Structure 1
Amino acid sequence: MASIRSTVVGALACQKDSYLKKFETTVVSCHEVQAAKSKSKSKKQPDAPSDAKTEYELVLKDTILFPEGGGQPSDSGVITTPETSIPVLAIRRAVLTALHKVPIPVAPATPVVLEVDWARRFDHMQQHSGQHLISAVLDTMQIPTLAWNLGEKFSYVELPRKLTDEEVAAVEDRCNEVIRQALTIWVEIPDKDLVNKQKLPDDYDADSGVLRVVHIGDLDANPCCGTHLSNTREMNSIVLLHQVPNKSTNSRLFFLIGDRVRKYAAENHALMRRLNARLSCQTDEIEAKVARLETLLRDSLKREKMWASEVVINEAVTVKQALQEHKRAFIYRPDAALDYLTSLVGEIGAFEGLLVLACGAVKSPGALMVLGEGADVFAASVRESGIVKSLKGGGKGGKWQGKVAEWEKGEPEALRKFVLA
């Protein structure tokens, strides 16, 4: 009996017909693979247990599940055997072979039915075909696309320079004009000698594989392995968003296409409505209202800084007196932060004795400072006593500083008694 062979990437069922949602095929092979190990494993604990799991990669006779490639993430879907349904965790390409990662093994020669997550697939088709359109329009302006990324919410094309606002508007208008023209998107399998192989992945076997060129009407022709729409009309609309600089002169132009535009509009409208309610204003008044709040905040922070300075001066006097009389002092400020303790230490200046400063509310993180002769020894005794369970820090001689991951109820008062005992 002749062995079953798998279809090469480039001629997969999903690449021949991107609209297939269900497909019958056969398992060619099944290989065990080790899942990625947990990053929590420490070098100091080489024998620590790992949460790595055994997974399996299936080679199928053919597939409608697209393997990651060409800037497009892999599909997700389900493989159904005669006994059970199995989620497909990921699909990757190994030279010319599509490998389907699954959590349990499936024996070779098993007949299976594939079902693609259609919502994810169609979204990827909209974004990928839309990227081709955006890049095609940019090409007419002699602005090449250096790379692109299909993200979970936003996608981008990387360009050699930042576009002006006028250029962005012009590209967006032209793209939406092409969408309304309902141009046919089609795939050609040309003579391999006519394909620009510089755009192929380094590990793709061009001689044995199938090279595809995706056309958008007469506007664009580009080598691509991805799944695509059949008509620009299905993109619905394209919105070009912000730009982010990358490297020395490059710019990443972010975009939304198709159903993502509608979802983004709905999300932002809901956000605006919430802001309207919280700010007690209409949408066109939000910017002015935020500007007023920023001014009030700056004024408030200035006043807070002034009053904090007064408190530091007064508290420093109290601490100095306690150090003179008892050679020990303890200050706990639940509403303060480390910068307050640092200011207080600066105001106190030189002293004799032991000073312990703490901040942070109960059930919240905080800080602890120990200063004076034998500060490190005292801090060690605090840690050994277990009075502050989540205390970590370090220092030597006359200064020790640490963080409290979370103050537990009763710990500040217990620490006070320990210091002043």
Structure 2
Amino acid sequence: MCEEAEFSQPAKTQWYDRKNYVFVEFCVEDSKDVSVKIEKFRLIFSCKTADNTDLYNNIELYSKVDPNDSRHKRSDRSITLFMRKVEGKRAWPRLTKDKSKFAWLVVDFDNWRDWFNDDEQMIDMEHYANMLKDLKDAEKPPTMDDLDFETTVISCTPAELTTTFNGKDETLKGFNVILEDTLLFPEGGGQPDDRGFINDTPVLRVTRRGAEAVHFVQSPLEPLSKVQLKIDWERRFDHMQQHSGQHLLSALAESMFGFQTTSWEMGRQRSSIELDTTSMSSEQVEALEKATNEKIREHIPVNVRVISVDDPEMQQIESQDLPDDHAGPIRIIDIVGIDANMCCGTHVSNLSHLQVIKLLGTEKGKKKKTNLFFLVGNRVLKYAEKSLTVEKALTSLLKNGPAQHVEAVERLQKSAKLLQKNNQNLLRDLALLTAKTFKNDANKGKLFILHRKEGDNEFMNIIANEISTEVVLLFLTVGDEKGAGLFLLVGQVNAVEALGPKVAEILDGKGAGKQGRYQGRASKMSNRRKVEALLQRYVQMLDTKEE
């Protein structure tokens, strides 16, 4: 690669050579009217200095690039370029120092990283991933679907991962893998971890251990081997939208109402921020939603900067304390003109990538605080799609339009309450009639057994109160015969204490007893006939003793 320049403006520059791309990042302080043109074999740059001096530079590229799939982005202090190689998977040679040439482009050779040399460490992937995001147009979300990233396995050790599946904890056996570089974000800062693949092996968890990212997989990988790394981009971009949306919401909630954010949580379906206020009115929620969406429409850049721990700027950054095992520089997420905050998470490069923010409402939080729930971007679209599906179903069921749904449901609720009240009255009358019929039966025995699908606790207790003194044992059950239900065992104290736990065990349920009553819930009402047989044997045993 050679360099030619008519004017000079020295700038410390970083080059990143990947298999299919070349990235260039250089500083252009105190400049204006910046113009970058990427051609097939060269890069043309021009700008004006603070004193209106015109600068022009022409860099001949080593090999052909695709101008249609190349772009650049200007931030406050730098230019970042993304150039797609026409001949992919071919390394460009390392730059060679040539002190005889004086050009505005001053290369920092210690920052050169290529994919071809084994003895060179690869670039910091967190920086690399954010660079990818920053290079995309503000009007459309970024994509990393065609990203071809190769790295080296540093270590692979046996490990276990405990996960929850269908409400039950499950322990998976596998391996903890540490890579030389990674695209995958480890969980932290309120953001869940990424998912992806190492070669064809799924990465099930990524955690942080000091400055290292630990990848859990279920197949071993050979240390020092080269591997391909792929990211679940849909999951990553969703996390970027929610996290950047949280930064925007928190910043505006504080500037508009003085509500500071004390914590936040990114859920699978919705996210929330905890605000240091006892309440938030519906008018404030509406105003905050309107303000955040206005900022999204303004296409405000979101910049990522890195500063040292002892940088004076740290005194001006609103942030929580660093973790005890933090190592290296500090990463600042800067929503230009709105918020600058220390953060380790992944973010969009422009607020327009958030698409839209929807606030779902608030609820009381802990310690006199308020939780505000929200959706960002694609989650809003999915929420709208789901709501539309429900609306169509209700329209079909209620036989009216969406505007009349609430009125129709209110009428149904009133009708259901009236039916429920009438049903309870009928059950009471039926319970009294059942008890009266039994007491008037001249051939009634010492055991009374009854099952009624539509009954409830009150139904069973009315019968028990009316005839418990007439029998030795009374066993009542209500509920679906093939499902779960309720049971009640009433009788002599000694008999109930002995038989109650056995009844609960047979019905696969739980119960409690006191003063001749044992009642509870049954999981398998179909086993009630086994209980009836048990009680019949008990009563027969008593009859035998009396004889």
- TM-score in terms of structure 1 length: 0.85
Distance 1:284 1:296 in 2: 20
Tell me, yes or no, if the aligned pair for 1:4 and 1:61 is still in contact at 8 Å.
Answer: no
Match of 1:97 in 2: 212
Unaligned 5+ residue runs, structure 2?
1-117, 134-142, 541-547
Of 130, 148, 159, the residue aligned with 2:245 is 130
Q: Secondary structure at the match of 1:156?
A: strand
Distance 1:296 1:279 in 2: 14
Q: Secondary structure at the match of 2:268?
A: coil
Is 1:159 aligned to residue 275 of structure 2?
yes
1:259 Cα deviation from its structure 2 partner = 1.3
Q: Which moved more, 1:369-378 or 1:266-275?
A: 369-378
Is 1:408 aligned to residue 526 of structure 2?
yes
1:413 Cα deviation from its structure 2 partner = 10
> Aligned pair count?
404
Tell me, yes or no, if the aligned pair for 1:8 and 1:96 is still in contact at 8 Å.
Answer: no
Q: Secondary structure at the match of 1:408?
A: helix
Q: Secondary structure at the match of 2:261?
A: coil
Q: Secondary structure at the match of 2:363?
A: strand
Of 213, 234, 242, the residue aligned with 1:119 is 234
Partner amino acid for 1:376?
V
Query: Relative to 1, partners in 2 of residues 1:346 and 1:201: Cα closer, same or farther, differing over 3 Å?
Result: farther
Query: Relative to 1, partners in 2 of residues 1:377 and 1:177: Cα closer, same or farther, differing over 3 Å?
Result: closer
Q: Secondary structure at the match of 1:14?
A: helix
Aligned 1:258-407 pairs, distance under 5 A: 258-321=377-440, 325-348=444-467, 350-373=469-492, 374-376=494-496, 379=499, 390=508, 393=511, 395=513, 398-407=516-525
Q: Which structure has the larger Rg over C-alpha atoms?
A: 2
Q: Secondary structure at the match of 2:382?
A: helix
- TM-score in terms of structure 2 length: 0.67
Of 505, 523, 536, the residue aligned with 1:418 is 536
Partner amino acid for 2:320?
K
Is 1:177 aligned to residue 294 of structure 2?
yes
Is 1:235 aligned to residue 354 of structure 2?
yes
Match of 1:186 in 2: 303
1:391 Cα deviation from its structure 2 partner = 5.8
Structure of greater relative contact order (alpha carbons < 8 Å, 6+ residues apart) = 1
Q: Secondary structure at the match of 2:391?
A: helix
Partner amino acid for 1:157?
I
Match of 1:218 in 2: 337
1:198 Cα deviation from its structure 2 partner = 5.5
Partner amino acid for 2:519?
Q
Tell me, yes or no, if the aligned pair for 1:15 and 1:226 is still in contact at 8 Å.
Answer: no
1:353 Cα deviation from its structure 2 partner = 2.4
Q: Secondary structure at the match of 2:459?
A: helix
1:351 Cα deviation from its structure 2 partner = 3.8
Tell me, yes or no, if the aligned pair for 1:332 and 1:357 is still in contact at 8 Å.
Answer: yes
Q: Deviations over 1:188-220 (max 9, x none)?
A: 112422325952443332xx3221111111221
Match of 1:44 in 2: none
Q: Secondary structure at the match of 2:454?
A: coil
Distance 2:526 2:344 in 1: 57
| Runs of 4+ with deviation above 6 angstroms | 2-9, 37-40
Distance 1:157 1:176 in 2: 17
Match of 2:178 in 1: 59
Q: Secondary structure at the match of 1:199?
A: coil
Q: Deviations over 1:325-355 (max 9, x none)?
A: 4232222223323332123223436445222
Query: Relative to 1, partners in 2 of residues 1:341 and 1:211: Cα closer, same or farther, differing over 3 Å?
Result: same
1:379 Cα deviation from its structure 2 partner = 2.7
1:134 Cα deviation from its structure 2 partner = 1.1
1:77 Cα deviation from its structure 2 partner = 0.4
Distance 2:304 2:190 in 1: 18
Match of 2:202 in 1: 87
Tell me, yes or no, if the aligned pair for 1:8 and 1:98 is still in contact at 8 Å.
Answer: no
Query: Relative to 1, partners in 2 of residues 1:389 and 1:135: Cα closer, same or farther, differing over 3 Å?
Result: closer
